[in-house]
Structure 1
């Protein structure tokens, strides 16, 4: 069923993502009322009416495109953590972040994205990263490469001796211990900075404009689409334990993604040195 779907014309997914953004997200960009913004787990963890309505629309449209599939979305999991169990089930699963970078969205910053990834039995099969305010659509297919606005993208490798630029978990969302571990990346050869929208940071790595990423949290909706995008652009990822990242959770953290295998190994070695 999934092979037939992917072998056919999956442009319906891109259309569904664009329609959800056009109907539920962009009309509210820089137009949100105070009562349309709610704190979830603190002042930096926000949800808006756009997040909820876009996820509802995507849930309906994506499951209609692939009968028998299910959706694991950020807002659905917040309402019912048992939804996460679908990541380990037998049904094809759409992993959805309706507005990745909600804080940017709330503050009128165009650096937010809608993330969708199709997975089955833990394997990432296809992903869509759409930044509607920036008019960017990145699509990746397992074994089929990565494209941005229809043009093939490759992550490449940093120039020998280049000072590496790396995005890490934002300080507002990290514990003192996580800050300590991520701080091992700050060396004479690496400059870490706090990340914005995770989905867009993955896109920057896939494009080769950012050398790597290191994250201390494992929410599948933040990472699934980007991990496949980076992999299909020629990049690499892994956990501090030297294992592949598992979308169902239970990973050794932090984990990293990079433009190439050598950069990834260097980053993971620094992170592992924290002990």
Structure 2
């Protein structure tokens, strides 16, 4: 079922239909509320740094309906649905194709009127990513990745940047508000000559920056699949590499050794992982 949808005779039409569904959800539920939110439309989920808005909820409902219709028999694992019912995330380990949805990635930026937010959608089956869509509504940038077929941004091929021996490797790391003491220590080990760590913004847009060559790597200490699924495939199909500190691939269903990185090339990923592990030869 999923192979036919992504790689079959109607694949181009199917993938375009997903892109259109993402654009429609953003146009209907997100952009009209950008810089127009009322105070009662913003709610704290797990504290002042973890926000949800009416745009998050309505965009996810919009995408859940449209994506389920595009691929009958599929299920949706969305950030807001999982917040309401944590058992929904178990679908990632099931047999049905899964749409992984973050309706507004970078809600804090969205709330503050900053255009650095994105809508993220990935299609997976039995833990394997098949396709992803990273959409920046405020700038109308759409990045698409398909397993084994490469990545593109607004139709143009994407390739991660090549190492520049004269420039520091910039690494976007988990924001301190979402970092454990152990992870904070791991990220501080990246403060060495040749690396330039900084706090990340929208995870989806940071992955896009790696894929388009304007950022060297990301390093994150949380594993919510809706934040990472789309970007991990995007970076991989743009020629990058990723792994956890245990040297293993990131598992969508969770249980990963953290932190993990996605970088412009395998050598950069190995160096970042070695430093975060505290390896003497990194």
Same fold (TM over 0.5): yes
Shift of 1:162: 2.8
Shift of 1:178: 1.7
Conserved 8 A contact 1:237-1:264: yes
**Residue deviations 1:47-81 (CA, integer Å, cap 9, x gap):** 00000000001000000000000000000000000
Match of 1:64 in 2: 69
Instruction: Give the alignment partner of residue 246 of structure 2, picking from 241, 252, 272.
Output: 241
Conserved 8 A contact 1:181-1:274: no
Match of 2:256 in 1: 251
Match of 1:271 in 2: 276
Match of 1:73 in 2: 78
Conserved 8 A contact 2:161-2:216: no
Q: Following the alignment from structure 1 to structure 2, what is the Cα–Cα distance between the partners of residues 83 and 93? A: 11
Q: How do 1:28-67 residues align onto structure 2 when only pairs under 5 Å count?
A: 28-67=33-72
Q: Following the alignment from structure 1 to structure 2, what is the Cα–Cα distance between the partners of residues 74 and 60? A: 15
Match of 1:91 in 2: 96
* TM-score when normalising by structure 1: 0.98
Match of 2:2 in 1: 2
Match of 2:162 in 1: 157
Q: How do 1:187-206 residues align onto structure 2 when only pairs under 5 Å count?
A: 187-206=192-211
Q: Following the alignment from structure 2 to structure 1, what is the Cα–Cα distance between the partners of residues 58 and 121? A: 15
Q: Following the alignment from structure 1 to structure 2, what is the Cα–Cα distance between the partners of residues 48 and 156? A: 35
Match of 2:150 in 1: 145
Displaced runs of 4 or more, over 4 A:
none
Shift of 1:96: 0.1
Are positions 1:100 and 2:116 aligned together?
Answer: no
Aligned residues: 275
* TM-score when normalising by structure 2: 0.96
Match of 2:132 in 1: 127
Q: What are structure 1's unaligned runs of at least 5 residues?
A: none
Q: Following the alignment from structure 1 to structure 2, what is the Cα–Cα distance between the partners of residues 274 and 184? A: 10
Q: What are structure 2's unaligned runs of at least 5 residues?
A: none
Shift of 1:177: 2.2
**Residue deviations 1:245-274 (CA, integer Å, cap 9, x gap):** 001000000000100000000000001117
